[in-house]
Structure 1
Amino acid sequence: MENFDTFTLKCDGRKVVLATSYVSPLGNIMKIAKELSQDYYNGEVLFDLLLSNGFANNRFLIMQFDGKKFILNSKKIVKDIPDGILKEIYNRYNDNPQWIDQSSLLDVHKEVLRQNFLLIS
């Protein structure tokens, strides 16, 4: 099983990489790049490291992808994520509760995710 999942945001077409366990997907950056290049994607990629980093200030980062590889010096931590993007991300977690179980989150945070308390209306 991979420790990451990629999907395309419906709200703006960007690619998102989610951690699917307590293991950060950044260790598989080459495998992620291969997957994105097979999708002919070129642009900004949002990483959500919630399940590996928790609700810390380094949960989200963005990095540019040139169609073949990540531009590593473009990596930036982001703190303000629009509600529409958060809604899509939380829906993805709720559709895959096994990821929540494999995370390093505290039990109370796992329960918050499972109960959809973070979903934005």
Structure 2
Amino acid sequence: MEFMESVLLNVENSMVVLGTSYRHPISSIFEHEQALRDAGFVGHVLIDGLLATGFASNRFLKMYFNGQHFEYLEDVEIVDAENVSKAQLNAIYNWFKDNVEFVEQNSILPNAQQYLLKKGLLLK
């Protein structure tokens, strides 16, 4: 398995950056910009730091990507999980269900939460 810090998921004409390690995906912001430029994407990007923060209130960030770079200071928003679309959450939880090795390597999430992710029990 090739190590990766994060993955991009295209969901409902939006992008989700999903962290795959204990490092928050915001720490690889320049790599995300390049991937989004390559994809020709313009719009809001949801950044999920689940494996870095757990199910904390600061798990999700939303930033605007203008086609070249993120507009950092002007448009960074912490998003409550209740305001994340069902499709985005399902894409995230499906990815973890299909890639359990990232969950198993995580030391931040308690065993019960790891179990829910690996079994797909958070899907709606």
**Alignment TM-score, normalising by the size of structure 1:** 0.92
Work out whether 1:76 is the aligned partner of 2:77. Answer: yes
Cα distance, 1:36 vs structure 2: 0.7
| SS of the residue 2:22 aligns to | coil
Deviations 1:55-102 (A, max 9, x none): 000111100001111110211011121222211211111111111123
What's the RMSD between the two structures over aligned residues? 1.1
Residues 25-104 of structure 1 aligned to structure 2 (within 5 Å): 25-73=25-73, 74-79=75-80, 80-103=83-106, 104=108
1:6 aligns with 2:2: no
Structure 1: 5+ residue stretches without partners: none
In the TM superposition, what are the counterparts of 1:9-24 in structure 2 within 5 Å? Answer: 9=11, 12-24=12-24
- 1:107 equivalent to 2:107? Answer no
Structure 2 letter corresponding to 1:6: L
User: Deviations 1:8-41 (Å, cap 9, x if unpaired)?
Assistant: 00xx210110011111111110011011101111
- Percentage identity across paired residues of the two chains: 33
- Alignment partner, residue 122 of structure 2: 118
Q: Contact (CA 8 Å) 1:20, 1:102: kept in 2 or not?
A: no
- Taking the aligned partners of 2:122 and 2:69, their CA distance within structure 1 comes to 33
